[in-house]
Chains A and B, each alone.
Chain A
Amino acid sequence: MHTEHDRVTRFAALMADYERPMRRLCSAYADRAADRDDLFQEIFLAVWRALPAFRGEASERTWLYRIAHNVALTWQARQRRREARESPLTEQSGVAAEVDVRALELQRAVARMRPGDRTLVLLWLEGLSAAEIEDVTGIKAATVAVRLSRIRKSLRPNEVMP
Chain B
Amino acid sequence: MTDDASVLQAAWMSSPPTSGDQRRTTVDLILERDRASRLRERRQQIGAVIVMLLLVPVLVWAAVYGISPLVRTAYALMTVGCVAGVAAQWFFLDGSRRALPGPSDTRSQLRNSAFMLECQGWLARTAALWSAPVFVGVLLIGLWLYRERSAAEAVALFALDVGVWIATGIFVGRAGSVLARRRRQLEDALSDLDARDSA
Tell me how far the C-beta of B26 lies from the nearest C-beta in chain A, rounded to whole angstroms. Answer: 7
User: Are A106 and B193 CB-contacts (below 8 A) given A50-B103, A135-B105, A152-B3?
Assistant: no
On chain A, the number of residues with a Cβ less than 8 Å from chain B's Cβ atoms is 67
Tell me how far the C-beta of A40 lies from the nearest C-beta in chain B, rounded to whole angstroms. Answer: 7
Q: How far is the CA of A125 from the CA of B156 in the complex (A)?
A: 66
A84 lies within 8 A of chain B by Cβ? no
Query: Which residues of chain A come closer than 8 Å to B186, judged between CB atoms?
Result: 73-74, 77
Tell me how far the C-beta of A52 lies from the nearest C-beta in chain B, rounded to whole angstroms. Answer: 12
A35 lies within 8 A of chain B by Cβ? no
Contact check, A125 vs B34: say whether CB atoms are below 8 A apart: no
Contact check, A46 vs B101: say whether CB atoms are below 8 A apart: yes
Query: Which residues of chain A come closer than 8 Å to B188, judged between CB atoms?
Result: 115
Contact check, A48 vs B30: say whether CB atoms are below 8 A apart: yes
Q: Which of B6-14, B61-69, B167-175 contacts A (4 or more CB under 8 A)?
A: B6-14
Convert A120-159 into 0s and 1s, putting 1 for each residue whose CB lies closer than 8 angstroms to a CB of B: 0000111100000001111100010011011011011100
Identity of the chain B residue whose Cβ is nearest the Cβ of A137 in the assembled complex: B106
Contact check, A69 vs B5: say whether CB atoms are below 8 A apart: no
Convert B7-34 into 0s and 1s, putting 1 for each residue whose CB lies closer than 8 angstroms to a CB of A: 0110111111110100110110111011
Q: How far is the CA of A105 from the CA of B181 in the complex (A)?
A: 31
Q: Which of B45-53, B108-116, B157-165 contacts A (4 or more CB under 8 A)?
A: B108-116
Convert B175-194 into 0s and 1s, putting 1 for each residue whose CB lies closer than 8 angstroms to a CB of A: 00000001001101100111
In A87-106, the 8 Å CB interface with B consists of 95, 98-100, 102-103, 105-106
User: Are A46 and B100 CB-contacts (below 8 A) given A24-B13, A116-B195, A138-B106?
Assistant: yes
Tell me how far the C-beta of B69 lies from the nearest C-beta in chain A, rounded to whole angstroms. Answer: 49
Contact check, B182 vs A48: say whether CB atoms are below 8 A apart: no
Q: How far is the CA of A106 from the CA of B99 in the complex (A)?
A: 32
Contact check, B182 vs A67: say whether CB atoms are below 8 A apart: no
Identity of the chain A residue whose Cβ is nearest the Cβ of B198 in the assembled complex: A146
A49 lies within 8 A of chain B by Cβ? yes
Tell me how far the C-beta of A79 lies from the nearest C-beta in chain B, rounded to whole angstroms. Answer: 9
Say which residue of A27, A100, A139, A150 sits within 8 Å of B199 (CB atoms). Answer: A150
A5 lies within 8 A of chain B by Cβ? no
Contact check, A15 vs B1: say whether CB atoms are below 8 A apart: no
Interface centre among B9, B15, B17, B27 (most CB of A within 10 A): B15
Q: How far is the CA of A135 from the CA of B192 in the complex (A)?
A: 18
Q: How far is the CA of A20 from the CA of B18 in the complex (A)?
A: 8
Contact check, B192 vs A102: say whether CB atoms are below 8 A apart: no
Query: Which residues of chain B come closer than 8 Å to A111, judged between CB atoms?
Result: none
User: Are A48 and B31 CB-contacts (below 8 A) given A58-B103, A73-B110, A156-B1?
Assistant: yes
In A41-85, the 8 Å CB interface with B consists of 41, 44-46, 48-50, 53-54, 58, 63, 66-67, 69-71, 73-74, 76-78
A-B residue pairs in contact (CB < 8 Å), sample of 9: A8-B31, A44-B26, A67-B102, A73-B109, A99-B14, A103-B12, A115-B188, A117-B192, A127-B9
Beyond A74-B186, A77-B186, A136-B106: 15 further Cβ-contacts under 8 Å? A15-B27, A20-B15, A24-B15, A45-B30, A49-B100, A50-B103, A74-B101, A95-B16, A102-B1, A115-B188, A124-B9, A135-B105, A138-B107, A155-B3, A155-B8
